[in-house]
């Protein structure tokens, strides 16, 4: 990642997420190059990346965004533009009309939902249907869309039991089976998807390959992805292909900066921060994983060792164990790497912990706090 944030640390008020414009644009340029070469449409998945100060960049490179319900669809309209695709495991009746007015594509989870809302679809809506391809190589169950008894999408067995008169309304199939995976995983899923559902492709207009494609990760096999897409489009030239990328857009585009409030000791040195795993980066506990820290090492490799912990009352609010070449002190800034995707969209005010501000490090080297949060965010949600 870029280390340009270092020269601004002294004057940064924490906690704060800092997105670097240049790094985000680099990701978007890569995605656009794939989009252009394969003639597909790539959408921003707001569930993974929703950093409002820089979302005006998205439609310069991508085709729009995908939403998981009314609020994300409204957010997409306000901040992103372009196409809006909305999928929900179950739509809420009181919200559906507004969703239909906002959305280009509406994707239904099963035939119950399609039947319920078919008369409320607008002429401008393209109707999609989510398929569970029943194959996945995702290791962590909580992130596996195709796990046992998954509620996400319809299996081949349930599809075949459906009222076939409803098929005439479906314009496209959508599947999502990946999580931070390479193109070989897509290849595996796509083969099963085609095997089970290709007989219906002739009546479709589009297919959406979903998300979880770790395209902007350094060792991702881009050439294989391009080959997979081109071969699919050669087999089905009438089908438009979409992909929905959230993490791949925000991957390694910024940091979460905190301050050491105290260093306490209980056999080990424990640095208490104004950054919380529970409130500010919950995936570190759910996945779990330990985020990299600028200037330090995960584990005990270096001389001075610390456990980083949040300032909440949750005993498990532990970010991880780190080591450094020099001792840390109260007031030092700590920079957690790659903390823009799946953090801002999930953070919370548990225990009255302050939400981090949103800052941008612009390409010209200037830094600006673009959005500030305070007591009101805690007050207004309780």
Report, as an integer, the average pLDDT of 49-68.
97
For the chain, what is the HEC assignment? CCCHHHHHHHHCCCCEEEEEHHHHHHHHHHHHHHHHHHCCEEEEECCCCCCHHHHHHHHHHCCEEEECCHHHHHHHHHHCCCEEEEECCCCCHHHHHHHHHHCCEEEECCHHHHHHHHHHCCCCCEEEEEECCCCCCCCCHHHCCCCCCCCCCECHHHHHCCCHHHHHHCCEEEECCCCCECHHHHHHHHHHHHHHHHHHHHHCCEEECCCCECCCCCCCCHHHHHHHHHHHHHHCCCCEEEEEECHHHHCCCEEEEEEEEEEEEECEEEEEECCCHHHHCCHHHHCCCCCCECCCEECCCCCEEEEEECCCCCCCCEEEEEEECCCCCCCCEEEEECCCCCCCCCCCCHHHCCCCEEEEECCCCCEEEEECCCHHHHHHCC
pLDDT at 164: 86
Residue 83: strand pairing partners:
64
Coil/strand/helix, residue 25: helix
pLDDT at 210: 97
Nearest to 194 by CA among 240, 202, 65: 202
**Percent of the chain scored above 70 by pLDDT?**
99
pLDDT digits (tens, 9 = 90+) for 255-279: 999 999 999 999 999 999 999 999 9
Give the Cβ contact number of residue 182 at 10 Å: 19
**Percent of the chain scored above 90 by pLDDT?**
96
pLDDT bin (cut points 50, 70, 90) of residue 190 is very high
What is the radius of gyration, based on Cα positions, of the chain?
A: 22
Q: Which two tokens stand for residue 111?
A: 């035939």
Report, as an integer, the average pLDDT of 150-168.
94
pLDDT at 247: 97
Residue 256: strand pairing partners:
17, 336
pLDDT at 186: 97
Report, as an integer, the average pLDDT of 93-122.
97
Q: Which two tokens stand for residue 299?
A: 């584990």
**Residue 55 Ramachandran class (φ > 0 left, ψ -120 to 50 alpha, else beta):** alpha
pLDDT at 270: 98
- Find out whether 336 and 5 touch, Cβ atoms under 8 Å: no
- Find out whether 213 and 248 touch, Cβ atoms under 8 Å: yes
pLDDT bin (cut points 50, 70, 90) of residue 163 is confident
Burial of 280 (0-12, 13-18, 19+ CB in 10 A): buried
pLDDT bin (cut points 50, 70, 90) of residue 1 is low
The residues spanned by each domain of the chain are: 4-19+254-339+347-380, 39-250
- Quick one: CATH architecture of 39-250? Alpha-Beta Barrel (3.20)
pLDDT at 300: 96
Tell me what the pLDDT averaged over the chain comes to.
96
pLDDT at 3: 66
Helix-, strand-, coil-residue percentages of the chain, each rounded to 5: 35, 25, 40
CATH superfamily, domain 4-19+254-339+347-380, is Lyase, Ornithine Decarboxylase; Chain A, domain 1 (2.40.37.10)
pLDDT digits (tens, 9 = 90+) for 286-308: 999 999 999 999 999 999 999 99
Measured CA to CA, the distance from residue 63 to residue 81 in angstroms comes to 9
pLDDT digits (tens, 9 = 90+) for 324-341: 999 999 999 999 999 999
pTM of the model: 0.96
First to last CA, the chain: 37
Measured CA to CA, the distance from residue 103 to residue 100 in angstroms comes to 5
Measured CA to CA, the distance from residue 359 to residue 375 in angstroms comes to 18
pLDDT at 2: 60
């Amino acid at each position: 990642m870029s280390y340009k944030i270092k020269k601004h640390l002294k004057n940064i008020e924490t906690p704060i997420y800092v997105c670097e414009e240049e790094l985000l644009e680099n990701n978007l340029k890569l995605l656009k190059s794939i989009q252009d070469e394969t003639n597909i449409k790539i959408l921003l998945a707001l569930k993974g990346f929703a950093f409002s100060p820089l979302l005006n960049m998205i439609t310069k490179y991508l085709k729009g965004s995908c939403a998981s319900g009314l609020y994300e669809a409204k957010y997409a309209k306000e901040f992103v533009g372009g196409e809006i695709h909305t999928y929900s495991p179950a739509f809420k009746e009181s919200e559906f009309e507004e969703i239909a007015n906002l959305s280009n594509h509406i994707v239904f989870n099963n035939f119950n939902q399609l039947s319920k809302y078919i008369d409320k679809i607008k002429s401008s809506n393209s109707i999609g249907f989510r398929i569970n391809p029943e194959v996945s190589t995702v290791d962590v169950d909580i992130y596996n869309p195709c796990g046992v008894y998954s509620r996400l999408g319809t299996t081949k067995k349930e599809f075949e039991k459906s009222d076939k008169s409803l098929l005439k309304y479906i314009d496209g199939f959508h599947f999502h089976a990946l999580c931070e995976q390479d193109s070989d995983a897509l290849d595996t899923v796509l083969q099963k998807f085609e095997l089970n559902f290709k007989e219906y492709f002739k009546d479709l207009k589009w297919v959406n390959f979903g998300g979880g494609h770790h395209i902007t990760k350094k060792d991702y096999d881009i050439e294989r992805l391009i080959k997979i897409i081109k071969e699919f489009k050669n087999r089905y030239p009438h089908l438009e292909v979409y992909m929905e990328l959230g993490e791949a857009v925000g991957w390694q585009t910024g940091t979460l900066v905190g301050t050491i409030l105290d260093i306490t000791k209980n056999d080990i040195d424990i640095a208490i921060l104004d950054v919380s795993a529970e409130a500010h980066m919950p995936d570190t506990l759910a996945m779990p994983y330990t985020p990299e820290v600028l200037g330090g090492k995960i584990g005990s490799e270096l001389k001075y060792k610390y456990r980083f912990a949040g300032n909440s009352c949750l005993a498990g609010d532990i970010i991880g164990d780190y080591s450094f070449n020099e001792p840390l002190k109260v007031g030092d800034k700590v920079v957690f790497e790659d903390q823009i995707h799946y953090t801002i969209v999930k953070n919370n005010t548990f225990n009255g912990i302050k939400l981090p501000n949103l800052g941008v490090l612009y390409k010209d080297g200037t830094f600006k706090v673009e959005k500030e949060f305070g007591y009101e965010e805690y007050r207004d949600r309780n």
